[in-house]
Amino acid sequence: MFESAEIGHAIDKETYDAEVPALREALLEAQFELRQKAKFPVIVLINGVEGAGKGETVKLLNEWMDPRLIEVRTFDQQTDEELSRPPAWRYWRMLPAKGRMGVFFGNWYSQMLQGRVHGEIKDPRLDQAINGAERLEKMLCDEGALIFKFWFHLSKKQMKDRLKSLQDDPLHSWRISPLDWQQSQTYDKFVKYGERVLRRTSRDYAPWHVIEGVDPHYRSLTVGRILLEGLQNALSRQPLKSTQVNAAPLPTAVDQLSLLDSLDMTQHLDKDDYEEQLITEQARLAGLLRDKRMRKHALVAVFEGNDAAGKGGAIRRVAAALDPRQYSIVPIAAPTEDERAQPYLWRFWRHIPARGKFTIFDRSWYGRVLVERVEGFCQPTDWLRAYSEINDFEEQLADARVIVVKFWLAIDKDTQLERFQAREAIPFKRFKITEDDWRNRDKWGDYRAAVGDMVDRTSTEVAPWTLVEANDKRWARVKVLRTINRALETAFERSDKHDKKQKKDKK
């Protein structure tokens, strides 16, 4: 969920300086129109990692826009007034009126996260708080509010560097927060529970935007653009129909940098290394699947990737080492008649493995946010809600001890062309290449954006994505096998710990 915000997004000074004046003007104009029409309020939630530029961004927005129409609210310690009333009262009294913008700095999310990180509440209570936030936001959206939720992110290393530089700077040392961010444990917990909160509360009517905080130019421009697009979008849709809500659209990276760019596509293995490593990993997988701890788990592997990225070959290498009674491969193509008569997740639920079993999906439920999105086979509202539906689905799998590994096999455009041409030249491979493949290739950029959003919104602690550099097939195959093996080992270790703890608790 935070992967795309750790890849070093940056905008150089010239580009920034060139872009800002137009952005400021457009923002002011949108703000003015918002005021004139006064049809809905705008609520901006600011959350995220310490030192990632939350305060600076809010300061900047006040400089860029008309501060008379912005109310910045900081919710820190509750006042006596607030303590003597229901917890939500403090937010209600500060809600911006229609036509105005409220920036909530420290909000319902900060409270529940701090509570969880400090161990004052446990997961079920956190979930109750999450649910309360969802209900509040749903109601606000149904009442017309436009909600932006920003999560400012830094990798652990970026955060430590940043805190250090702030500490050394006498002008900024007041910024060090009460939460002891110096401890790396705090960061880990904050990000872990933050991910849970984002996963659950990123809904189509109020999605989260994760912003990499390390470069001020990138950060500021990104937030400004998302606000602008969202505002313009909502203003143009007034008046709303009774069943519509003002949702902010998904952002595109202002520096055009995507997680896919961060892959080192030159990764490769020579033949000898490959053969040795392949056999080692295959044997390891066979062993792990025979492990008696596997009886408590099931395994699901999802293969997605560019056309001709080598999904089939990778799947064969995985399957090669295994007892056919233990695994099954489910190829996902256009839905059958039976499947079209059901909700889109139904055809995947059908194939969920029982404990001890392993299912390989050759393409998957992610078709909804890839091909169906790009080709327009479903409505934007449908694929937008699919992210949270998929997260819910995978969370249910994880809760039932199903280990979920997901692979995106990435090749570059040239490699794809070579492979397409090679396939057309070999008679028995010709069936593998169709008109569709060439058509998809024309939409390379759209697919790329869809993959980026997919990973950002569905790579979660319970079911992370693994991006596989697949220009070299050998490298890709070994990486796939190794990833599955590590996932199994991690899961087994976690079960061991869990069982030990349970035994101990019983005593």
Contact residues for its own copies (CB under 8 A)? 38, 41, 81, 84-89, 92-93, 95, 97-99, 124-125, 127-128, 131-132, 135, 139-140, 142-143, 145, 241-244, 298, 338, 340-346, 349-350, 352-356, 379-382, 385, 389, 392, 396-397, 399-400, 402
Give me the least distance between CB of 281 and its own copies, in Å please: 27
Give the residue with the Cβ less far from its own copies, 163 or 301.
301
Residues 303, 363 contacting (CB under 8 angstroms): yes
The dihedral sign for the CA sequence 112, 115, 118, 122: negative
- Give the nearer residue to its own copies in terms of CB position, either 81 or 414: 81
Nearer to its own copies, 191 or 390 (CB): 390
Minimum gap (Å) between residue 323 Cβ and its own copies:
18
Q: Are 116 and 84 in contact (CB under 8 A)?
A: no
Distance CA 377, CA 383 (A): 10
305 by DSSP, 3-state: which? strand
Q: How far is the CB of 40 from its own copies (least distance, A)?
A: 10
State the minimum distance, in angstroms, from the CB of residue 87 to its own copies: 7
Closest to its own copies by CB, 209 vs 368, is 368
Query: Which of 11, 99, 12, 105 has the alpha carbon at shortest distance from 54?
Result: 105
Alpha-carbon span 217 to 257, nearest angstrom: 14
The dihedral of CA 378, 384, 386, 389: what is its sign?
negative
Contact assessment for residue 191 and residue 2, using Cβ atoms and an 8 Å cutoff = yes
Whole-angstrom CA distances from 304 to 123, 295, 312, 462, 468 are 32, 27, 10, 18, 10
Which of 273, 376 has the CB closer to its own copies? 376
Omega of the bond leading into 353 within 30 degrees of 0 (cis): no
Dihedral-angle region of residue 356 (phi above 0 means left; psi in -120 to 50 means alpha; beta otherwise): left
**Structure tokens belonging to residue 198:** 């984002």
- 54 vs 297, which CB is nearer to its own copies? 297
* Distance of closest approach, residue 328 Cβ to its own copies, in angstroms: 14
| CA–CA separation, 268 and 199 (whole Å) | 34
Q: How far is the CB of 402 from its own copies (least distance, A)?
A: 7
Compute how many other C-beta atoms are within 10 angstroms of the C-beta atom of residue 286: 14
- Of 253 and 397, the one with the shorter C-beta distance to its own copies is 397
Distance of closest approach, residue 80 Cβ to its own copies, in angstroms: 9
Q: Which is nearer to its own copies, 236 or 243 (CB)?
A: 243
Candidates 73, 228, 234, 71; CA nearest to 144 is 234
Minimal distance, residue 203 CB to its own copies, in Å: 10
CB closer to its own copies out of 80 and 270? 80
Nearest approach in angstroms of CB 284 to its own copies is: 25
**How long is the chain?**
507
